[in-house]
Amino acid sequence: MTSDHDVIIVGAGLAGGILAGVLAEGGRRVLLLDRGRSLAYSEIPGDHLRNHRLTLYGDHTTPDPAGHPRVFIDGAGVPHTVLPHDARYQLNAFTVGGGARVWGMQAWRFHPDDFRMATRYGVPDGSSLADWPIGYADLAPFYERAEHEIGVAGDHAGTTHAPRARDFPLPPVPRSPSAEWLARGADRLGWRTFTPPLAVNTRPYLGRGACIQCAQCIGFACPTDAKNGSHNTLLPRALASGRCTLVTRAHASRVLTDGSGQAIGVEYFAPTTTDSATLERRTARARTIIVSSGAIESARLLLLSASPLQPYGLGNHGDHLGRHVQGHAYPIAYGLLPPDVESSLLGPGVSVATTQFNHGNPGIIGGAMLANDFVKLPLIFWRQSLPPDTPRWGLANKRAMRDLFRRGIDVRGPVQEIPSPDSRVTLDPAVRDTFGLPVARLSGTTHPETVRTAEFMRARAEEWLRASGAERVWSWPAEKKFSAGQHQAGTCRMSADPRDGVTDPFGRVHGHDHLFVCDGSLHVTNGGFNPALTIMALAFRTAEHLLASP
């Protein structure tokens, strides 16, 4: 059977856009599907009640939230049907470009030991901690490529946790006075700090302008399009090649397989015409199918694609599909700057970091990078950053806001989670989406070792603020909870041996010749860093592997 496409990619997020760009430029005819739309800057307004850091009443990148619930199983085993703006939903942006339309842009390489956690630390009871089937050296060239083709600003000499062969293409973001204050505090502790890598145009790059340091960064689209992702780099390259067809508002419902179980196409629902509210069922066929929908929806699609030959879902022969869900525990220490140091309201805001505690912490498994935070919205500050003994209303609260808004400081970091096989995505037996398909059911909780590492890192974050001279320091203990969110990972883990995971070391689903997964789902462990650059590096690597394949 002939087909109009060589490759179908399900999901035009950070990874999907890269796959499309490399494959289309390499001569492949690509069909790129995304359930969201390509949103103009003006369609993602500066709404402080509806953004990806505060989804009180929704957000501006989620289409049709009501028709797409998930089911969250709480600690007592009680199911809750939840919509995207509910934290329990574990939302990532559903739009072309994915989370990178509105992200905080931290673009970290993982530490070499992040790929060999089981070897370095052993396997804790009850965990599914494992080594990746690839190492840092396998990804290094693709990290470098992502830094240059997406555009990352960083401090080459200072970023030493992972070997680097080539400088960043963009100079690091400027340091705020409060970040300099934190750097001096770290010096007193003997901790090394540097300016963290961010995927932002610190000067004009790749045909777009520079960041204007606005005070409405994370959670929002960028007013100068200086916030880099695949939506403004590789995806435009894919479309310019003439070989990529992007279909938006397209909801994949099934990977189609033939009588031998091999993937041959994708069934999806898409608008009958571009602007139509009516969706019709379609099928598309291609030699290669790549699922790139985020760790929750990628696992769900493979589960939905069960067939008589693979009754538990595609790639689920080893009972790993949908398991080992990880995000990041995120300990935060809050403090107050001394009166002579003002917090900057210049964005993005993250401009000092340490990787001192990513590994080598006595008695602790793994660790985390620590950094200061983005410029805060006033409402987020009111909700999260006032000292805990501040009255919540009245003149006392208003005066605290006035006096402390410019004095708040916090230090936080993404803790490398210890995966648990019981932290899972399955198909809910009762609740269905608008197409009548079972929705994702999220269950399980944090492994105790993750809590222990998070508590260790919380103490380091407090120590940093105290050594810097913060007038007050406070924080909240880590809790066990289902963890996925914007850093969701792990549900289609790579493995060398088909029994140990869902895909091979290139993301090819074990037992399938032409079916791939490419997103955070592949991460065996999720590093003590924001995972986006690793997702991007894997996308470049998988795409090049496909181009090199006959």
Angstrom distances, CA of residue 325 to CA of 73, 299, 302, 322:
14, 10, 15, 7
Question: At a CB cut-off of 8 Å and minimum separation 6, what does 548 contact?
Answer: none
Pick 40 or 548: Cβ nearer other proteins: 40
- Phi and psi at 40, nearest 5°, equal -75, 160
For the bound state, the minimum distance from the C-beta of residue 393 to other proteins, rounded and expressed in Å, comes to: 5
* Choice from 309, 379, 496, 547 touching other proteins (CB under 8 A): 379
* Choice from 212, 309, 430, 547 touching other proteins (CB under 8 A): 212
Pick 379 or 496: Cβ nearer other proteins: 379
For the bound state, the minimum distance from the C-beta of residue 94 to other proteins, rounded and expressed in Å, comes to: 20
Token pair, residue 168, equals 């960043």
- Strand partners for 298: none
**In the block, which residue shows the tokens 């499309």?**
20
Q: In the chain, how many H helices and how many E strands?
A: 10, 19
* Choice from 174, 223, 448, 511 touching other proteins (CB under 8 A): 223
Query: Scanning residues 383 to 402, which ones bind other proteins (CB under 8 A)?
Result: 383, 392-395, 397-399, 401-402
Pick 215 or 364: Cβ nearer other proteins: 215
For the bound state, the minimum distance from the C-beta of residue 229 to other proteins, rounded and expressed in Å, comes to: 14
Pick 212 or 309: Cβ nearer other proteins: 212
Number of residues lying near other proteins (CB under 8 A)? 38
Angstrom distances, CA of residue 369 to CA of 131, 354, 359, 546:
20, 6, 10, 33
Q: Is 81 in contact with 71 (CB distance < 8 Å)?
A: yes
Q: Is 300 in contact with 436 (CB distance < 8 Å)?
A: no
Query: Scanning residues 445 to 474, which ones bind other proteins (CB under 8 A)?
Result: none
- Under the binding rule (CB under 8 A), the answer on residue 216 touching other proteins is yes
Strands 288-291 and 515-517: parallel
For the bound state, the minimum distance from the C-beta of residue 41 to other proteins, rounded and expressed in Å, comes to: 4
* Choice from 30, 100, 102, 222 touching other proteins (CB under 8 A): 222
Pick 362 or 388: Cβ nearer other proteins: 388
Pick 165 or 393: Cβ nearer other proteins: 393
- Under the binding rule (CB under 8 A), the answer on residue 203 touching other proteins is no
For the bound state, the minimum distance from the C-beta of residue 48 to other proteins, rounded and expressed in Å, comes to: 4
Q: Is 211 in contact with 200 (CB distance < 8 Å)?
A: yes
Task: Give the E-state strand segments of 399-514 in sequence order.
Answer: 408-412, 424-432, 438-443, 473-475
Piece of 193-201, 209-217, 271-279, 502-510 that binds other proteins (CB under 8 A): 209-217
Query: Scanning residues 33 to 72, which ones bind other proteins (CB under 8 A)?
Result: 40-41, 45-49, 56-57
Report the C-alpha gap between 502 and 292 in whole angstroms.
Answer: 14
122: left (phi over 0), alpha (psi -120 to 50) or beta: left
For the bound state, the minimum distance from the C-beta of residue 378 to other proteins, rounded and expressed in Å, comes to: 4
Q: Which residues in this chain contact other proteins in the complex, by CB under 8 A?
A: 40-41, 45-49, 56-57, 209, 212-216, 221-225, 345, 377-379, 381-383, 392-395, 397-399, 401-402, 405-406
